[in-house]
A = this chain, B = another copy of it.
Amino acid sequence: MIKKNKTNIAIVGLGNIGSYLYKYLIKNKNYLSKKSNTLSDVLYVSAKNKSKKRKLSIPKRKWLKNYIDATRDKKIDIIVELIGGAEGPAKKLVFAALKNKKNVVTANKALIAKYGDKLAKIAEKNNVNLEFEAAVCGGVPIIKSLKEGLIANSISKIYGVFNGTSNFILTSMDKNNLEFKDALNRAKSLGYAESNPSSDLNGEDVASKLKILTALSFNSYINNKDISVEGINKVDRVDIKNANLLGYKIKLLAVSEIKKNKVTQRVNPCLVKKSSYIANINGVLNAVIIEGKPVGETVIQGEGAGPQATTSALVSDILSILKGEKKLPFMIPDKKRKKIYFESISNKKFSAYLRVDVKDKRGVLSDITKTMSKNKLSIKRLIQNPYKSKKYSSIVIVTHQAKDSLLNKTVFHLSKKKYLIQKPKFIRIENI
């Protein structure tokens, strides 16, 4: 019954994920042939540092001299790219692979977010698959759900918690009353944050994922320009405490929605009601919520990262290719993807949390409220907390809904005040 042609795989990049995947593919050969009704083999591997200790015994004959050889070898059918980064060798490898009619499986969100449209065109032209389930929220099968299970739906909004590292840090700050840097160190020591976690913390990692999901959800091209991105690196323990007192949790949220044919994309920390589903996504979990017609709301939740969850995603892509499922990277032909209008969030209305830490002098509160009122910003709630020393005060304000541009303008004006002791904090409130 099993088809006789063997499908040969090359894995390029043998970090935590590549190593785990290699072991999985070797160990589960029978399982893979049962599920795909075909035979497969990891024929080649390649990694920057061949002599690095990997707890892996890979036969010498499997090592490629040069990683790019994988794209030229006639025996290779699938290249799994696990190098990472939008440029350099990853880019070179994937472009060359698709041009040489190799199927590509990748976990590289930066590459797909930046060059996904170009790569998809080449894949389509050459009739090969470009699969990237592992690039977005590892254990959450969101790409396949959009392309298969939820394909019937006209999607109006897709949002959620897409970064396990950030979410772990926010959860630790909240539950263990830690400062940002201590929570980050804890994440590092547990293997939940890389030694250089900047793209996790500044929101860029989430932004890449959101751009990919936006294109898939709205049948548009990827838009790298019109997206508002903030990370969690300015959130501190006091903000988390204040949020709790106000009945909220702070989450790094990614939201993409379409209204009147205009798409907005945003990634930012925000306050969400404690009772909301999102507020209860803790630790390294990821969650994606899809609002569509006719289905209503669908939620998918799972491990966001790590070698295990990522391997689950990579193997689902590999099996899809082994089974001979020809799929377009963005579901529809390049020519049918829409040039949709994207809008900045400046006209979008938000209620917001402001925190202004000031010297405790007469007239300060009146000046703050005057500044807000000049910018047409009205106050829903205000709490003044004196510092222990009593020389300073922390003023916490919840605003009524106002245009994002006005909120930003107000923060800008407040930040010029001489009575400030640190930059004002501004975190949007999301009603979800």
Contacts and interface: CB of A to CB of B under 8 A. Distances in A.
Contact of A149 (B37, B141, B292): B141
Given A145-B145, A303-B295, A153 B325 contact: no
A297 B325 CA distance: 26
A286 to B, nearest CB: 10
A197 B317 CA distance: 41
Contact of A148 (B148, B219, B280, B294): B148
Contact of A311 (B148, B294, B303, B320): B294
A140 interface: yes
Task: Give the bracket for the number of chain A residues in contact with chain B.
Answer: 35 or more
Contacts of A138: 295
A59 interface: no
Contacts of A363: none
A363 to B, nearest CB: 47
Contact of A333 (B1, B152, B308): B1
Contacts of A333: 1, 37
Interface string A318-343: 01100001000001110110000000
B151 A316 contact: yes
Contacts of A309: 294-296
Given A148-B320, A298-B300, A302-B296, A35 B332 contact: yes
A235 to B, nearest CB: 25
Contacts of A145: 141, 144-145, 149
Interface string A412-428: 00000000000000000
A419 to B, nearest CB: 44
A301 interface: yes
Nearest to A310: B294
A316 B141 contact: no
Interface string A112-154: 0000000000000000000001000011110111001111111
A295 to B, nearest CB: 4
Nearest to A149: B141
Nearest to A133: B149
Most B CB contacts (10 A, CB to CB) among A143, A152, A301 go to: A152
A42 B331 CA distance: 23
Contacts of A133: 149
A29 interface: no
B336 A308 contact: no
Interface string A278-314: 0010000000000011111111111100011101111
A387 interface: no
A299 B161 CA distance: 14
A312 B141 contact: no
A389 B10 CA distance: 78
13 contacts: A31-B154, A34-B332, A35-B331, A37-B333, A139-B295, A141-B149, A144-B148, A149-B149, A152-B313, A294-B309, A295-B303, A296-B309, A297-B303
Given A34-B332, A298-B301, 16 more contacts: A20-B294, A24-B152, A34-B336, A133-B149, A139-B296, A139-B298, A141-B150, A143-B149, A144-B145, A149-B316, A153-B312, A294-B312, A297-B303, A298-B303, A299-B299, A299-B302
